[in-house]
Amino acid sequence: MPIVVGFVPTKEGRAAVARAADESLLRKTPLVIVNSARGGRDVTDVGPDSPAERELLDVVQDLRDRDVDVEVHSLVRGNEPAEDLIQVAGEVGADFIVIGLRRRTPVGKLILGSNAQRVLLDSPCAVLAVKAEG
């Protein structure tokens, strides 16, 4: 069963992808990267020339060079990233989801909500939470 990980071009996102790749190789199972952009028709910084897309392409190439069986689901449909991760995990029958965590202030948690909390509570499978070094 595949492992699902969300791609975010941050140190937490990179840590999640690195751990997911290690687990994929260890378990000899496919890795599904979910690249979720929220803005729908208003998104202007996605596409093949965006910095995030270039970084994702580099990450995928590095994974393939390590013999990781990887596929990417790039989604721009107005959902929160948590919704996309949960939906893709259900669709592919994921064994588990890997997410990166970052420290947030109490006010930040209140105002912005928490994608990590949503994934932890609503996931159809186990969730592995990874902290970035640093």
Tokens of 27: 């378990």
C-alpha Rg value of the chain to the nearest Å: 14
Q: What is the pLDDT of residues 81-121, one digit of tens each?
A: 899 999 999 999 999 999 998 776 666 555 555 788 899 99
Number of domains comprising the chain? 1
Domain, as residue range, for 28:
3-131
pTM of the model: 0.85
pLDDT of residue 105: 66
Give the residue carrying structure tokens 């699902």.
4
The CATH number linked to 116 is: 3.40.50.620
**32-88: pLDDT as tens digits:** 999 987 554 444 555 566 788 889 999 999 999 999 999 999 887 778 889 999 999
- Alpha-carbon gap, residue 38 to 35, rounded angstroms: 10
